[in-house]
Structure 1
Amino acid sequence: MIFFRLTMAKEFLIDCYLFLFKIIFLICKRFKLQNKIVFVCSYTDNIQFVYNELIHRQLDGTDIVFLCRGKAAAGHFAKTGSCVVPFETGDVVALLRSAYHLATAKIIVVDNYFGFLSVATFKKNVQCIQLWHACGAFKTFGYNDHSVAYRTKRARKRFAAVYQHFNKIVVGSDAMKEIFKQSFGLDETHFIHLGVPRTDLFFDLAKRNEISKNLQRYCHGKKIILYAPTFRDKPIKDGSLGLDLKMMEQALSNDYVLLLRLHPAEKGMVDLSGQNPQFVIDGSNWSSVNELLLATDLLITDYSSIPFEFSLLERPMIFFPYDLKEYEKSRGLWGNYKQMVPGPIAYSTESLIELIKHHVFDLSEITDFSNTWNHYSTGASSSHVADYLEECLKQSSEQIEGHQFYLARRSGRNDQ
């Protein structure tokens, strides 16, 4: 009963927010479209790479606006000097500004699920592009997320409305495209094979060496193990990570350091004050997880999407799904997890240590995994996406001008 009441209260607040947003958006639609790209961000890497490419091209007369969900994204993009507006907050002024920019932009780029899309009816020439924040997926989302069954009929209708607003979805592989098709209920026409922009970093050898050297300064010349567990619906309690850090230190500290990277939603929730800072290093505040991957010798993770990008480096990884049965039941996984992962599986700290000490890895398995999930990510994805955005701007302008010419002829005001 309590869960039901909380769910209904949450739905009521969402409905109120979206109703207010819809009214403001409809008013703002009275303004004409501008040569403007609005990035709606919950993450940073993909959009940052595309933004860098657009700035490099010096697109005259094109404005760029960031609508940022979360302080991390807002703080990150504030450094660009472009317009940054907090998004999905209680700030009424920010809501007004957000609705205005979304109603007057020719291109909307989103990197996640955003509820406003369920009530935002864009003008005819506007393109909404989904630049998803991951290269692949073990855990289900969208229609296939197990938690959807516990949501209200109204909420499920809202989800469908959001997905239908994606004119195009950028993909890095046919494998991920198939997952999107099932998750969002969209057909083949909604996908563009441009690759995932943030993977360009893995093909920049000079940048890779620079970042790797900088990180090695924290690691005293030892090999780096990166532990990056995924977000769980149940918050971390009593500092538990499923991993015995003291046992890891005793067994591995002579040769390794352990870099801990928590999900942004769980950052700061684990007390590391009792750990040896020479062995356990908190990497949760590092701005880019991909930069951490460049210096990582061995990855330990569970259901995170990080392995899909890490596989580009063809380095070993171990999978640590210590709560596999519970997670699979509550959240859902695509297919047989044990067959999907490109590395050995451990369910205890002791097993992890044994795998690391005996170096039980098949790198050819990782290469095959990367070829499957990074097929279109070949080092130029940022450029490909920027090309597409430029073309959308051009087509939108031509369509608008053509429409205005048609109206002028209808009204008898054309001088030609």
Structure 2
Amino acid sequence: MKNVLLTGMKSFYLFLVEQRSKLPAEKNDKIIFLLSFPSTSRWVLSELYKKYGSRLVVCYTENSRELAANYQKKGCLIYGIDSFRELLSSIPLMKGASTILCDNYFAFLGGTMFESSTKVIQIWHAGGAVKTFGLEANYAKNSTKKDQDRYQQVYDRLTHYVVASDQMTTIFKKSYHVTNAEFLPFGYLPADRYFDEAWLKQAKQKFQERFGNKKSLLYVPTYRENENENPIDFSRLAAVLGDEWQLFAKAHPHDPALQQKFEKHPAVITDFKGLTLQEMLPSIDCLITDYSSVPFEYTLANKEGKLLFFCYDLEEYQKTVGIQDGFFDALPEALAVTLDELLEKAANMQAVDLDRFDQTWNQYNKGNAMKQLMNWMEENEA
């Protein structure tokens, strides 16, 4: 009964959005950015603002309020789209704009009736994918036909995708059942920074000033909705690595309980002293993660770095979410399923050949993705 009620409410929500979007709207010169991943979209927004100034409109989810507020101070319009009232207020602007950029899935798009000339561009929030998503995720496959149809309505609104590889083109086509959209092989926008020598030098200098010259290991697990007890043992990891190493850890922003656990451990540094994760990566000698998208950036940020995947719940995760076909088959030496395996691999710290990984996932990353996108937007502006 609860699921039926929830489905009905979602359908009514989209109906109201659709009715609002059917009303006439004047064309405008705004560039609309749908924001839900501040950590990955921060740099992209700053580059867009440099070019478009107050033409930029930020429609944000609640977790992105602080970043959006910065652009309000600069003179940009902002709308909190978790508020239905503000969402409805923003729809005429969206409908009248020629370009809309999305960093994620936004449910309201499924009910929005755009002009045929409107370009709705999915820039995404990762350069590659370890886990399945969209209609390929197991939780979506197990959802009702009505829910799946509603997801597809959103996917069908997307007219363009910015991708870093042919592999991601294939994954989007499969995950979103893409038929008519166009793929723009420009690269993953935030990855441009890793080709900027001045930015890299500054990031490394900041890291050295704050944390010294010890070898550095960073543990960055992905978010799990049903988190079992994470078996990572920093005491044993520190003992295996020795005094020449320092350990950093960062939980997903949506997992404060795990972050608190990390913060309580005396062997772990959780305060990055003002550095973003992206600024940390060039100085990290070994990255340990699982199903996160961080590795796709790490292999660009630090060509000499070591990469390990600690997937203690691999079998369960494969059942509930899903892993991209053959992902770990290409990196068998980097995968640890048990803590003992992880400690053994950390102790030996052998380099993993990441050339094939980069060729697969960072195919189009050349440092000019943002420039290519903005040139394309200018050429195709209605």
When normalised by structure 1's length, the TM-score is 0.83
Q: Which whole-Å CA distance do the structure 1 matches of 2:292 and 2:150 have between them?
A: 26
Corresponding residue for residue 76 of structure 1: 67
SS in structure 1 opposite 2:192? helix
SS of the aligned residue for 1:158 comes to helix
**Aligned residues of 2:42 and 2:67 also touching (Cα < 8 A):** no
1:21 maps to 2:17: yes
- Which residue of 1 is the match for residue 157 of structure 2? 165
1:34 alignment partner AA: N
The alignment of Structure 1 onto Structure 2 pairs a total of residues equal to 376
Q: Is this contact kept in 2: 1:46–1:131, CA < 8 A?
A: no
The answer on 1:325 being equivalent to 2:315 is yes
Amino acid at match of 1:66: V
Is 1:242 matched up with 2:231? yes
Whether 1:259 and 2:252 are equivalent positions in the alignment is no
Matches within 5 A, 1:78-157: 78-80=69-71, 81=74, 82-87=76-81, 89=82, 91-157=83-149
Partner of 1:402: none
Pair 1:284–1:160, CA change in 2 (3 A): farther
**1:151 is matched by which residue type in structure 2?**
S
Q: Please identify the structure whose Cα radius of gyration is greater.
A: 1
Matches within 5 A, 1:269-280: 269-272=258-261, 274-276=264-266, 279-280=267-268
Question: What amino acid sits opposite 2:7 in the alignment?
Answer: E
Q: Is the contact between residue 319 and residue 343 of structure 1 (CA under 8 Å) also seen in structure 2?
A: no
| Structure 2 stretches lacking a partner, 5+ long | none
SS in 2 for 1:376: coil
| Equivalent residue, structure 2, for 1:356 | 346
Match of 2:25 in 1: 31
* Equivalent residue number for residue 406 of structure 1: none
C-alpha distance in 2 between matches for 1:7 and 1:250: 49
- After TM superposition, give the deviation of residue 284 of structure 1 in Å: 8.4
Give me the TM-score of the superposition, normalised by structure 2: 0.90
* CA distance in structure 1 between the aligned counterparts of 2:378 and 2:171, rounded to whole angstroms: 27
Between the aligned partners of 1:75 and 1:211, the Cα distance in structure 2 is 23
- Corresponding position: 1:229 with 2:221: yes
Q: Are 2:217 and 2:247, in contact at CA under 8 Å, matched by a contact in 1?
A: yes
- Greater shift, 324-333 or 7-16, is seen at 7-16
Rounded to whole Å, the distance in 2 between the matches of 1:116 and 1:329 is 29
1:299 aligns with 2:290: no
User: 2:298 and 2:332 mapped to 1: Cα distance?
Assistant: 11
SS at match of 1:304: coil
Residues 178 and 112 (structure 1), Cα distance of their counterparts in 2 relative to 1, 3 Å cut: same
Give the Cα separation in 2 of the matches to 1:286 and 1:154: 45
Please, which runs of 5 or more residues in structure 1 have no aligned partner?
A: 397-416
Residue 298 (structure 2) pairs with residue 310 (structure 1): yes
SS of corresponding position for 1:79: helix
1:376 Cα deviation after fit: 0.8
Q: CA deviation at 1:199?
A: 0.4
The answer to whether the 8 Å contact 1:37/1:108 transfers is yes
Instruction: Give the conservation status (yes or no) of the 8 Å contact 2:57–2:77.
Output: yes
Q: Give 2:331's aligned residue.
A: 341
d(CA) in 2 for partners of 1:18, 1:47: 26
163 and 326 in structure 1: CA distance in 2 versus 1, 3 angstrom threshold: same
Question: Residue 47 of structure 2 aligns with which residue?
Answer: 53
Q: Retained in 1: the 8 A contact 2:161–2:181? A: no
2:98–2:119: 8 Å Cα contact kept in structure 1? Answer: yes
Change (3 A) 1:287 1:99: farther
SS at structure 1 position matched to 2:218 = strand
After TM superposition, the structure 1 stretch with the greater mean CA deviation from structure 2, 7-16 or 45-54, is 45-54
User: What amino acid is aligned across from residue 310 of structure 1 in structure 2?
Assistant: Y
Larger CA deviation: 340-349 vs 323-332: 340-349
Match of 1:199 in 2: 191
1:105–1:284 Cα change, 3 Å:
farther
Distance of aligned partners of 1:258 and 1:9 in 2 relative to their CA distance in 1, 3 Å threshold? farther
The answer to whether the 8 Å contact 1:39/1:108 transfers is: yes
Q: Is the 8 A contact 2:109 2:154 kept in 1?
A: yes
